[in-house]
């Protein structure tokens, strides 16, 4: 049986910690959430010499052990809790060669917890470019640790790091500074009160508001109550601690690091002047976004069409090859289309995260966040919210997954809740057929009325998302620090391995997270549409044959009539009739009711459902339009699809949460059913009210 050691990978944001994690673990990694919270947990396995395995946890980026966010709390809770199953045998602190002084603050704090700590100095390939030279032997002696000088870009130094992890017992645990020097009297009294406890750990327990899991609560409470000083005094002691640490770091770097500024060749300042410019910055970002989303639509359409047709063919093949019966129908009409409903999203998710990963890896994303923060902050959002909101025009699912890099839980939650208002590509089939039915073909200033209507629906969606964010910011009483700190990393060429692993992990996260829920609901919807009570459903074939006996229908037309009759009297058809009194004031009949209910599986199902109800093959779009145009309103008489009912339906789909996949991913990202249920109820109620007002006003 091979031995396993726990390794905590820790560092400031943008030090290349993820690159080190990927270099050590490769594909032997998984991503989830920490139990009970929404902070992402990345862990992987690294095989070392002599059959030893290192269980590596990539902890959230943190600047110090003075926690200011949920992410940083996770780091402190783990490092202070020896009872945690993931408590590290060794801490690996990753630093960036260009920001060594700032990065070393965190290193000295972790070292003072007397955990074996090695120092990784990353991006060594940039040293000559930046005119930096290091005396590693001197720094190892001064910092009392082992150092691995690495370059993940060139894959250099990784073997050295693995060797240091293997020999973790040889790493010194001597603290960097004497904690009592901060305030001799206070820390002296603290040591007397708790003689068997590590002094720096006691200090962190007193100053940090964190959850210590399985640690002895009585012991922790006793320490936490040792606040003989006011909050202001404790804050001053923290500042004094930081000063002492930087004195120690400056002393070490004085001889251990040499920087020759004359050698530094830096384009960063020139690029920043353009990319964060108050006019050109927004223009460039807009062009990049248009390019990205055009590429997502163009590139994903080919694999999505292939997946769609492949699953349809597979479903048909299953029907033909297996004996007729309930099990075959479940496979062909429930499970296989359900799986197709999951897999079809993969191209959009993969391409979106490909572009996001490239923008993040290159260093440009930080500039976008900085640029947008001044606008988004007014609406209770973060600068980082702009990526999910605009990503939502492709699909809300990857867009909501993209909120993970928003530090403030309140801002992240608001972004998750409002993103579905942005018009996604799944709404397009609904919009296009309804616009074609009710908006006349005319032009104003060279632009068609139909194109302007479509553009207006996009603008309404985005505007509603921003307005909702503003309201939620006022309503939600969630304590969440909203100060804005963004690291401006250097520009660099993205590493293919990092980009590929990001795309693979995000896609896997969707398939195995939301996918299970989507498949389950698809099967339920299939059952409701395939079965029904009473004679009308069970004897549908005889009833339809008798009714249309005189019309001499072809076999295909007759089968479509039977399918339409069965659907009307199935459980989902009965549901459509049941909700008809509710939706009649919006200008809809029971057929539209069925389409609304069934399109909860996916909005684009609306058109296909209506095609089945109207006994028309879904591939004959013109015929669908003609049949829909000829439908008569059973109450008011005249056409069912008028300008009033059409606008009402467009607005309903613009605002309603008609997507079970989105609800599934919201549940996964918020770790609770509370938020997706509220989202479903509030968005649908809002959609209903707006659609009602529109129809009653326009009719």
Please state the residue numbers annotated as binding site for GTP. Answer: 11-18, 36-40, 58-61, 122-125
DSSP 639: B
Q: H or E stretch including 511?
A: helix 496-530
d(CA 133, CA 124): 10
d(CA 285, CA 371): 9
Catalogue the long-range contacts made by 625-633 (C-beta closer than 8 Å, 24 or more residues apart).
625/433, 625/436, 625/437, 628/433, 628/437, 629/437, 631/589, 631/591, 633/587, 633/589
Residue 647 contacts residue 686 (beta carbons within 8 Å)? no
* DSSP assignments along 199-219, one per residue: HHHHHHHHH-----TTS-HHH
Q: What angle do CA 625, 396, 26 make, to 5 degrees?
A: 130
* DSSP assignments along 266-290, one per residue: --HHHHHHHHT-TTHHHHHHHHHHH
3-state secondary structure of 32: strand
Query: What phi, psi does 679 have (nearest 5°)?
Result: -60, -45
Query: What phi, psi does 118 have (nearest 5°)?
Result: -105, 155
* C-alpha distance from residue 483 to each of 68, 149, 371, 473 (Å): 10, 34, 15, 15
Of 199, 174, 178, the closest CA to residue 116 belongs to: 174
d(CA 197, CA 113): 11
Residue 470: burial class (beta carbons within 10 Å; 0-12, 13-18, 19+): middle
Residue 189, both tokens: 């009294």
d(CA 152, CA 16): 8
d(CA 283, CA 277): 9
Tallying the residues shown for the chain, one arrives at: 699
Residue 479, both tokens: 């304590």
d(CA 53, CA 37): 28
Q: Binding-site residues for Mg(2+), please?
A: 22-23, 25-26
d(CA 33, CA 52): 26
* DSSP assignments along 110-173, one per residue: HHTTT--EEEEEE-GGGHHHHTEEE-HHHHHHHHTS-EEE-BTTTTBSHHHHHHHHHTGGGS--
- Provide the phi-psi class of 51: left if phi over 0, else alpha when psi is between -120 and 50, else beta: left
Q: Which residues, other chains included, contact 511 with Cβ-Cβ below 8 Å and sequence gap of 6+?
A: 342, 343, 346
Residue 657 contacts residue 663 (beta carbons within 8 Å)? yes
**How large is the C-alpha radius of gyration of the chain?**
30
Residue 36, both tokens: 């009970």
Residues facing 121 on adjacent strands: 95, 149
Q: Binding-site residues, please?
A: 11-18, 22-23, 25-26, 36-40, 58-61, 122-125
d(CA 402, CA 412): 10
């Amino acid at each position: 049986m091979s031995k396993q050691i726990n390794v905590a990978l820790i560092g400031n944001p943008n030090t290349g910690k993820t690159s080190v994690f990927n270099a050590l673990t490769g594909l032997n990694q998984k991503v989830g959430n920490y139990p009970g919270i929404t902070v992402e947990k990345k862990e992987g396995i690294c095989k070392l010499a002599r059959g030893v395995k290192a269980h590596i946890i990539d902890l959230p980026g943190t600047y110090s052990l003075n926690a200011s966010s949920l992410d940083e709390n996770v780091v402190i809770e783990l490092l202070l809790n020896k009872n945690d199953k993931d408590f590290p045998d060794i801490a690996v602190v990753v630093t960036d060669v260009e920001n060594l002084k700032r990065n070393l603050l965190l290193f000295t704090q972790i070292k003072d917890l007397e955990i074996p700590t090695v120092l990784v100095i990353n991006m060594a390939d940039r040293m000559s470019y930046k005119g930096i030279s290091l005396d590693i032997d001197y720094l190892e002696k001064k910092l009392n640790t082992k150092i691995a000088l690495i370059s993940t870009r060139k894959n250099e130094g990784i073997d050295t790091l693995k060797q240091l992890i293997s020999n973790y017992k040889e790493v010194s645990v001597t603290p960097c500074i004497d904690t009592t020097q901060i305030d001799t009297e206070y820390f002296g009294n603290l040591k007397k009160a708790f003689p068997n406890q590590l002094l720096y750990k006691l200090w962190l327990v007193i100053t940090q508001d964190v959850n210590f899991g399985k640690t002895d609560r009585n012991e922790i409470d006793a320490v936490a109550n040792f606040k003989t000083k006011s909050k202001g005094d404790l804050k001053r002691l923290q500042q004094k601690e930081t000063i002492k640490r930087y004195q120690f770091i400056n002393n070490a770097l004085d001889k251990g690091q040499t920087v020759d500024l004359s050698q530094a060749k830096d384009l960063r300042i020139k690029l920043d002047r353009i990319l964060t410019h108050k006019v050109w910055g927004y223009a460039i970002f807009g062009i990049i976004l248009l390019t990205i989303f055009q590429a997502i639509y163009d590139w994903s359409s080919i694999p999505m069409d292939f997946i769609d047709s492949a699953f349809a063919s597979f479903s048909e093949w299953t029907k033909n090859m297996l004996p007729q019966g309930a099990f075959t129908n479940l496979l062909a009409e429930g499970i296989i289309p359900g799986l197709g409903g999951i897999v079809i999203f993969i191209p959009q998710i993969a391409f979106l995260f490909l572009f996001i990963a490239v923008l993040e890896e290159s260093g440009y994303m930080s500039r976008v966040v900085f640029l947008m923060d001044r606008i988004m902050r007014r609406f209770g959002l973060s600068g980082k919210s702009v990526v999910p909101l605009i990503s939502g025009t492709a699909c809300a699912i990857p867009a909501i997954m993209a909120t993970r890099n928003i530090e403030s839980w309140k801002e992240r939650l608001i972004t998750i809740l409002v993103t579905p208002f942005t018009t996604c590509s799944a709404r397009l089939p609904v919009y296009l057929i309804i616009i074609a039915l009710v908006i006349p073909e005319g032009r104003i200033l060279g632009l068609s009325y139909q194109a302007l209507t479509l553009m207006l629906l996009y603008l309404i969606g985005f505007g509603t998302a921003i307005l909702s964010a503003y309201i939620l910011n006022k309503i939600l009483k969630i304590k969440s620090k909203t100060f804005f700190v963004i690291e401006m990393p250097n520009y660099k060429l993205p590493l293919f391995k990092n980009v590929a692993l990001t795309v693979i992990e995000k896609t896997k996260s969707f398939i195995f997270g939301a996918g299970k829920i989507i498949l389950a609901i698809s099967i339920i919807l299939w059952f409701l549409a395939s079965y029904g009570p009473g004679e009308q459903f069970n004897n549908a074939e005889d009833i339809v044959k008798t009714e249309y006996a005189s019309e001499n229908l072809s076999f295909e037309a007759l089968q479509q009539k039977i399918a339409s009759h069965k659907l009307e009297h199935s459980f989902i058809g009965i549901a459509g009739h049941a909700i008809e009194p509710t939706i009649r004031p919006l200008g809809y009949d029971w057929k539209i009711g069925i389409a609304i209910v069934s399109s909860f599986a996916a909005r684009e199902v609306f058109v296909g459902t209506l095609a089945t109800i109207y006994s028309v093959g879904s591939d004959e779009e013109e015929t669908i339009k003609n049949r829909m145009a000829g439908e008569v309103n059973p109450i008011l008489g005249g056409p069912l699809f008028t300008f009033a009912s059409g606008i009402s339906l467009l607005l309903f789909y613009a605002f309603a949460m008609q997507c079970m996949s989105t609800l599934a991913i919201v549940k996964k990202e918020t770790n609770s059913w509370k938020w997706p249920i509220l989202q479903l109820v509030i968005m649908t109620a809002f959609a209903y009210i707006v659609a009602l007002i529109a129809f009653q006003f326009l009719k």
